[in-house]
Amino acid sequence: MKTELVRIGNSRGIRIPKPLIEQYGLNDTVELRLEKDCLVISPGRRPREDWRKAFLAAGSSEHDERLLEIGEPSEFDRKEWKW
């Protein structure tokens, strides 16, 4: 599909036909990226959209208590650190 660039102030833009907007689920915000010599327009993502999937992929928190273990105090802990 070919389309013309339209002037928008000092910039240029494109008009995306409604059927394409609906087919690809484009909303008010889209992501633009360059791949080789192509400009790719994809639906915008919400911040932290994939975090739940990442947390689930990280596995069980069964052994996380080890992260909270306190080791031996260092020289800094004994002399320098003050609350």
Q: How confident is the model at residue 79 (pLDDT cuts 50, 70, 90)?
A: confident
31-57 residue pLDDT tens: 999 999 999 999 887 778 788 888 888
First to last CA, the chain: 65
Asked if 44 contacts 29 with a C-beta cutoff of 8 angstroms, the reply is yes
Residues 61-75 pLDDT 10s? 777 776 677 778 788
Q: Where are the domains of the chain?
A: 6-43
Strand partners, 25: none
Residue range 15-33: mean pLDDT, rounded: 91
Residue 30 has pLDDT above 80, yes or no: yes
The Cα–Cα gap between 37 and 13 comes to: 18
pTM greater than 0.85 (yes/no) = no
Q: What share of the chain is helix, strand, coil (3-state, %, to 5)?
A: 30, 20, 50
| pLDDT for the residue numbered 40 | 93
Annotation: CATH topology of 6-43: Pemi-like Protein 1; Chain: D (2.10.260)
